Structure 1
């Protein structure tokens, strides 16, 4: 028997080896196999750790679920304060952004220009709950969720804390008066935030009747008949598009129709939002007396919506508006008045038929 533990060369046949030599080769094979196995396990553990870390990093960067927001597009003197307050009362956890583009003044941005794109980006920042300290005081005035948090924890002076509160809210509602409806489309196509859009329009004769009594309405997009009626036509065409392509994320409200049947209108609105009607909302709609305060939400909505017919000049307001906004009045299913007598006869309803945006 050879005294070598391992021969210098491997024999051609293992069968020719003695039993001690076979055991030596078997032992060597087992040792090498264990070394290879440990190496593979070590590599796999490192790779698995790197894989788990990579997945964790990806998850930290990913948005688990987009933040929900509702943007109310409307115009001055179109029932925006009333509707905004009504929506704000839909849930105690709602964060309300009141006119976030107010710095642009009484001006509607509807053209495809740099200023409009800047305004859209500003609105997106608001919907992302990104605020600066200069905005907090203004938000505090119209945001009951922030006021309550301010009273209990002093959040009202801290923009970062305000943003955190906004992100935790059950819903973010923003009222926008200064963008043409065509700029709702970038919000609906946006992936950062899950946005729904409500577009509310009012009889343009009532709108101009109200705007004629305020001094601040001094820009063409606020007081020029031809400009405003042209924008209304464009908005209604865009509303038709959005209704077709985003039926579950776009909701149209004719303010005049809403005021005629407010409880039915409220049910439709809350169904769109996926929320129940609240007692606070019903309390607003149950108010029986008209109000002399144009900013008050506690008033008889049905009676309030008709007041313009008694206050408007037929030759100076009604006739010119009907001339320039004729197509929109037809689209909205609104009555055209041919005499002052018919205008003040409140037994003649303004709304003749439901709005049809399919056209």
Structure 2
């Protein structure tokens, strides 16, 4: 309607044509200004939202979108978890590593359905969601190369919001959990906002308890009591078979003794499970040729290291009691029984039963 009226006015006379030109110019300028203001307003609001979300980065639920990926390593003390954690940490660039988020619970395995256990599970969930407590930033920093690298290039080294953002942007989040019974892995696998893959690392309990016997901090029943440790292991192995059935593409069991026997093939199998290629840094860890007596060193001959316990453990004090209480688990893990100190110390006799090899499995009393 408006353009037709203007056209009619403009055709009346020379004076009206001049007025028409001025009016049209004013309309055009007004339209351009309104469009610019609308555009800037939208961008301004959008920028305000971005700034606000950055300022408030911390512990709220993640916005809708693709689920973050996380790998949780479940194991126990002295079961090769430091070694396996380092392999996972070197699975690529941009990996965020949460080292023992339940460290504050001490040398204690939480397996009962009690408030303390449920709180620990929720704490692990928060960590997998990149929701951090300011008081634990120092712990994260010590074992997280991605965070340390970021600290060297920014002024937000100990800022909980910056840590949360770095975690969210990481290519993969790896967390090592040593203090939960394996049945409590199920709530993690059921998380809707984080896609969790779970690795359960298990080792010969004779080697585990041999190593624990030499450290003062292992003083709780769930850490040093043979009967208790064997009971927990049996429960874990039963749960592992159920998790493998329920989550065949998201649960992976690693037998430490088998892994050390053929480390490169086992590493390839692990990385295939994760959908990632084997890295040069991982191969470097496996290429060391000498055993090491440093329990914290990861650069050591894996095969020799796995057998080291056999030359320095007590046969009557460790091996015989473990074979008594853990006999079902030893059988399920395909491990050889030793009935003399001589056979135990004979490293040419492999601890793993070979395919088709039978072992006269006797209960040692």
TM range (shorter): 0.7 to 0.9
Confirm or deny: 8 A CA contact 1:211 1:223 kept in the other structure: yes
Q: How many Å apart are 1:155 and its aligned residue?
A: 2.7
2:164 match:
163
**Structure 1 length normalisation: TM-score?**
0.81
Query: Which runs of no fewer than 5 residues in structure 1 stay unpaired?
Result: 1-59, 355-359
Confirm or deny: 8 A CA contact 1:98 1:142 kept in the other structure: yes
1:211 matched to 2:212? The reply is: yes
2:114 match:
113
Confirm or deny: 8 A CA contact 1:291 1:304 kept in the other structure: yes
CA displacement 1:123-142 (0-9 Å, x = unmatched): 00000001122111111111
Alignment of structure 1 residues 55-204 onto 2, 5 Å: 63-204=64-205
Q: How many Å apart are 1:283 and its aligned residue?
A: 0.6
Q: How many Å apart are 1:154 and its aligned residue?
A: 2.5
Distance 1:224 1:63 in 2: 46
Confirm or deny: 8 A CA contact 1:72 1:174 kept in the other structure: yes
Distance 1:325 1:244 in 2: 24
2:349 match:
348
SS of match in other structure, 1:155: coil
The 3 A distance-change label for structure 1 pair 353 and 241 is farther
2:23 match:
none
Confirm or deny: 8 A CA contact 1:146 1:155 kept in the other structure: no
Q: How many Å apart are 1:338 and its aligned residue?
A: 0.9
SS of match in other structure, 1:252: strand
Confirm or deny: 8 A CA contact 1:137 1:156 kept in the other structure: no
1:7 match:
none
Q: Give the ranges of 4+ consecutive aligned residues of structure 1 lying more than 6 Å apart after TM superposition.
A: none
The alignment's C-alpha RMSD in Å is 1.2
Q: How many Å apart are 1:116 and its aligned residue?
A: 0.3
1:273 match:
274
CA displacement 1:15-57 (0-9 Å, x = unmatched): xxxxxxxxxxxxxxxxxxxxxxxxxxxxxxxxxxxxxxxxxxx
Distance 2:168 2:287 in 1: 33
SS of match in other structure, 2:293: coil
1:228 matched to 2:229? The reply is: yes
2:305 match:
304
SS of match in other structure, 2:157: helix
Confirm or deny: 8 A CA contact 1:110 1:116 kept in the other structure: yes
Confirm or deny: 8 A CA contact 1:95 1:146 kept in the other structure: yes
The worse-fitting range, judged by mean Cα deviation, of 61-70 and 156-165 is: 61-70
Distance 2:241 2:183 in 1: 11
Distance 1:135 1:61 in 2: 21
Q: How many Å apart are 1:61 and its aligned residue?
A: 8.2
Confirm or deny: 8 A CA contact 1:226 1:324 kept in the other structure: yes
CA displacement 1:220-241 (0-9 Å, x = unmatched): 0000011110000000000000
Distance 2:223 2:178 in 1: 11
Distance 1:161 1:88 in 2: 20
Query: Which runs of no fewer than 5 residues in structure 2 stay unpaired?
Result: 1-60, 356-365
**Structure 2 length normalisation: TM-score?**
0.80
2:21 match:
none
Distance 2:62 2:136 in 1: 28
User: Which of 1 and 2 has greater Rg?
Assistant: 1
Distance 1:118 1:61 in 2: 21
Q: How many Å apart are 1:332 and its aligned residue?
A: 0.3
Distance 1:148 1:190 in 2: 30
SS of match in other structure, 2:249: coil
The 3 A distance-change label for structure 1 pair 61 and 222 is closer
The 3 A distance-change label for structure 1 pair 353 and 192 is farther
1:314 match:
315
